[in-house]
């Protein structure tokens, strides 16, 4: 990883710039900070886990308020979800997505402030927290992730990540939006979940409570833990500071996009 991972290179900027909503031509006030610098300021926050007001002014990002407002504006416009979807399509076109299986899992994070999608964490002495519910492909590429309160049971959110996979183009035919099978541990053991997955023509591969684990399942599911480790390298995702869940989700989508971007560069280099 670069010593300055928040720097947006020319190739990545070429993908992002067309997705950004245009700035009003006759907007009042001083000339706005360029979008590319604002994006780098936004990336500086999750990589270094600093408060918005502590963004270094000498790097040209503008004030923390400027970057925060730009993040909010771009999230409302769906920029980061569009970027993630675009990069998934490019990975799919390069043959880098494994649709034969997908892995689901959840991960708890501490929430320093209360807000939407927070609750008492059952694994952190009932302290306020959130949970990330992730689905990734067989190679660990993040397909979709959602945020809930920490006390939400995994079983109740099994289908939400599956149904949240965006339609991924890049191959001949209709865009792909579901894997052939879904792998889960015993936390996802439910007849209703299995029934709903089969109704979607997805094979459930889920260990049953009170029975030995499915042989070899752990070796296939390790990729989801690896993906969580990559997401939580963005320190702002390992500990949640945003009261508004949509801003936390903006960081999640941006992190997923950067993981996909790194994999795409490795695949095409």
Domains of the chain, each with CATH number or no CATH: 10-20+30-76 (no CATH), 98-240 (3.30.420.10)
Contact 223, 259 (CB under 8 A): no
- At 29 the pLDDT is 58
pLDDT averaged over the chain?
90
pLDDT at 19: 96
User: Which residue from 100, 67, 85 is spatially nearest to 16, judged by alpha carbons?
Assistant: 85
Reduce the DSSP state of residue 117 to 3 states and report it: coil
pLDDT < 70 regions, the chain: 1-3, 25-31, 211-216
As a whole number of angstroms, the distance between CA 38 and CA 48 comes to 15
What's the pTM?
Answer: 0.92
């Amino acid at each position: 990883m670069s010593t300055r991972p928040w720097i947006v290179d020319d190739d990545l900027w070429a993908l992002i710039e067309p997705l950004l909503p245009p700035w009003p031509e006759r907007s009042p006030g001083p000339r706005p900070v360029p979008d590319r610098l604002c994006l780098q300021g936004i990336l500086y926050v999750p990589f270094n886990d600093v408060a918005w007001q502590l963004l270094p002014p000498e790097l040209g990002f503008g004030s923390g308020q400027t970057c925060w407002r730009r993040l909010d504006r771009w999230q409302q416009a769906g920029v980061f979800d569009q970027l993630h979807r675009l990069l998934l399509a490019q990975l799919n076109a390069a043959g880098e997505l494994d649709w034969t299986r997908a892995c689901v899992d959840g991960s708890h994070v501490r929430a320093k402030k209360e807000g939407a999608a927070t609750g008492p964490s059952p694994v952190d002495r009932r302290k306020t927290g959130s949970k990330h519910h992730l689905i990734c492909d067989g190679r660990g590429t993040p397909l979709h992730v959602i945020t809930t309160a920490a006390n939400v049971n995994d079983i109740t959110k099994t289908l939400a990540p599956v149904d949240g996979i965006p339609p991924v183009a890049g191959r001949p035919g209709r865009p792909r939006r579901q894997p052939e099978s879904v792998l889960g541990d015993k936390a996802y053991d439910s007849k209703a979940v299995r029934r709903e997955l089969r109704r979607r023509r997805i094979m459930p591969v889920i260990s049953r409570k009170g029975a030995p684990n499915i042989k070899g399942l752990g070796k296939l599911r390790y990729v989801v833990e690896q993906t969580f480790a990559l997401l939580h390298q963005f320190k702002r995702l390992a500990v949640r500071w945003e009261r508004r869940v949509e801003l936390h989700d903006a960081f999640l989508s941006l992190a997923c996009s950067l993981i996909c971007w790194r994999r795409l560069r490795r695949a095409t280099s």
